[in-house]
Structure 1
Amino acid sequence: MTPKGEQGPALRADAARNRARVLRVARERLAAGDDSLQLNAIARLAGVGVGTVYRHFPSRHALWEALSAERFQELVDAAQAAAADEDPLAGLHRLLRFALLEASEDSGFAAVLESASDADVQTATLKAELDGAVAHLLDRARRSGAIRRDVEADDVRRLLCGIEHAIRSGADDDPKRAEVYLDVLLEGLRPPR
C-alpha cells in the first residue's frame, strides 16, 4: 500500500512498483545527506530506466513534491487545528512555529512550499487547503483585533518562507535566531498602533 500523497491516478502494478522504488531510493539518498536528487543517478540506483523516472517525475521539483506530500498534509492538518483554536492568535503562533520547524528541517519541502507553480495536482490542492485554513484563521484573528487587516494567507506563507531562507543562509546554526525572526514576523502582523 502506498502512503497518501505518493500516487496520483491508478497505475499499472509494474508502474506503481517502479514509482515506489524511485521514491524509496530518493528517500535513501536524502537520508544519506545527498539532497541533489539527480534523476539520472536515482534511476540507476533504482534499477529503472531514466525515461521511467521522468515519466513519473518530469523534474526534480516534481520529485520533491512527491517526497513532501506527507509533510505537507501534516502542515495542512496543523493549520486546520490552528484555525479551530479558541484563541486565534495562539493558534497562529503555534502554526507559524510548526511550519517554520518543518520548512527549516527539509529544504525540499521549503522549496515546494514557496514555489509559485506546482507540478502535481495534489500539491496544488494541499496549498489551496493550507491557504483556506490560514485564511479562516486570519479572519478570526482580524475580527478579534489581534492582527492587521491587510495580510492574506499567501502573504503569511511567503513571509514564513523568507524567514526559513534567512535561517538557512545564516552563518551560524543558532536556533535562537529562528525565534527572533518569528517574533519579528508576529510583531509585524499586529495592527498598526
Structure 2
Amino acid sequence: MSGHPSKPARKVPPSASDSGRDLRADARRNRDRVLRTAQQLFARDGLGVSLDEIARRAGVGPGTVHRHFPSKEALYLAVAIDQLEQLITEADDLAAAGDPAALFTLLAQMMASGAENAAVKSALVAAEFDLRTAAPGVAADLTRRVTDLLERAHAADVVRHDVTVDEVMALVAGAFAAIRHADAETSRERSAHLAQLILDGLRPQPRRPRPRAKPRVRAG
C-alpha cells in the first residue's frame, strides 16, 4: 500500500453508456444517426464541432441531441462505446466466417478505429475516463472475442504460440501511440502501414536454414 488516497472514479455522464436498445425505434435511429455524424465530424474537423452543428448535419433538432447527450463529454464517451460495439459485431462476423487468420483482420480494424477516433480517445483520457470502467461489459465482450479468435489462430498455427491476449491488447494500445507519434491519424494508408508492421510481429517466423558447415581443408 502506498498510503496515497485513491482517486475516485469519474462518474459516467448521463446517457453515455446507454446503447439505445431500450429506446423507441425512431428515437434509436435518431441516436444512431447523431453518433455516426459526430464520429465523422470529430474525425474530420476535431472536437470543436458544436452539438448544434452535429444536430444540423445529422438532420435532427438540437433538442434531440441534447436529450440523448446532455454534454460533449457524454457524446465523446458514447461515440467510443459505439465503436467498441461495432468491433464486437465485426468480430462475430469474422468468427462465423471461420477464417483462422481472422484475428489479424479484427486487430487491423481495431487499430484503424483507434486512429480514426484518436481525438475522442484523447479527450476521454484528459477527462480521466477509462472505457474499461465506463463500459466494463462492452470492453470485456470485445476482449472475449479477441481471445476466441486468438485461440483459433493458435490452433491453425497462424500466430505465434507465445502470444497471450493481454499482449495482443497491449500491442493494439501501443499501435494507437505509434500512429499518433507518427502523425498518421489523418492518413489511412500510413496508419494501415504502421498497423501492418506491428501485426507482422505476431506472425510465426519462418525457420531459417542452418548454414552449411565449411568443408575442412586437409593440411599438406
TM over 0.5: yes
Q: Structure 1 residue 88: deviation in Å?
A: 1.6
Tell me the secondary structure at the aligned position of residue 87 of structure 1. Answer: coil
In the alignment, structure 1 residue 141 sits paired with structure 2 residue 153: yes
Q: 2:112 is aligned with what amino acid?
A: L
Q: 1:34 to 1:186 in 2, by over 3 A?
A: closer
Q: Structure 1 residue 3: deviation in Å?
A: 11
2:204 aligned partner: 191
Indicate the structure (1 or 2) with the bigger Cα radius of gyration.
2
1:70 aligned partner: 82
Unaligned segments of structure 1, at least 5 residues: 11-19, 38-45, 48-55
Scaled by the length of structure 1, the TM-score of the pair is 0.61
Where in structure 2 are the equivalents of 1:86-165 lying within 5 Å? 86-89=98-101, 91-108=102-119, 110=121, 118-120=132-134, 123-165=135-177
CA distance in 2, matches of 1:147, 1:4: 34
Q: Structure 1 residue 167: deviation in Å?
A: 1.8
Where does structure 1 differ by over 6 angstroms across 4 or more consecutive aligned residues? Answer: none
Q: CA-to-partner distance for each residue in 1:97-142, whole Å, 9 max, x for gaps?
A: 22222211112554579x766343xx21111111111101000100
Where in structure 2 are the equivalents of 1:7-18 lying within 5 Å? none
CA distance in 1, matches of 2:105, 2:48: 31
Does the Cα contact within 8 Å between 1:104 and 1:110 map onto a contact in 2? no
Where in structure 2 are the equivalents of 1:37-76 lying within 5 Å? 60=73, 64-76=76-88
Q: 1:174 to 1:73 in 2, by over 3 A?
A: closer
Tell me the secondary structure at the aligned position of residue 145 of structure 2. Answer: helix
Aligned residues: 163
Q: CA-to-partner distance for each residue in 1:134-167, whole Å, 9 max, x for gaps?
A: 1010001001111112323332232122222222
1:178 aligned partner: 191
Q: 1:179 to 1:82 in 2, by over 3 A?
A: same
Q: 1:34 to 1:190 in 2, by over 3 A?
A: closer
Q: Structure 1 residue 71: deviation in Å?
A: 1.8
Q: 1:93 to 1:34 in 2, by over 3 A?
A: closer
Which structure: greater helix fraction? 1
State the superposition RMSD in angstroms: 4.2
